[in-house]
Amino acid sequence: MENRLILAINPGSTSTKIALFEEETLIFEKSISHSRSDLAPFVKITDQFQFRKELIMNELTTGNVKLEKIRIVVGRGGLVKPIESGIYKINPRMIEDLRSGSLTACK
């Protein structure tokens, strides 16, 4: 059985950190800084989704990461309604909470 690749994403206010693990072994990590001018076009934090996704995808491509080998994607934080910490499969209600941005502090 092939080891699973796990992509961890940590979106912060001025950076996006990513790390790729093969099981428990770190094989790739990158911190992508965002200047004020980078983020200025976005009214809400949820508007940054495509911007950050493209940066992440570029870094993975540059790092020769085979996307089809990634089995798990985990993230820190989130803008969903309060839930207990743990592991959740993404569902339509979570996506709607995220897209609506109703729980964001800055709009």
Q: Alpha-carbon distance 16 to 2, whole Å?
A: 28
Q: Are 92 and 100 in contact (CB under 8 A)?
A: no
Q: Is the pTM of this model over 0.75?
A: yes
Q: Are 107 and 101 in contact (CB under 8 A)?
A: yes
pLDDT in tens for each of the 107 residues of the chain?
A: 567 899 999 999 899 999 999 989 999 999 999 999 999 999 988 889 899 999 999 999 999 998 999 999 988 766 677 778 778 888 888 888 777 766 654 43
**Domain 5-78: assigned CATH number:** 3.30.420.40
Q: Where are the domains of the chain?
A: 5-78
Q: Hey, how many other C-beta atoms are within 10 angstroms of the C-beta on 52?
A: 19
Q: Alpha-carbon distance 101 to 49, whole Å?
A: 12
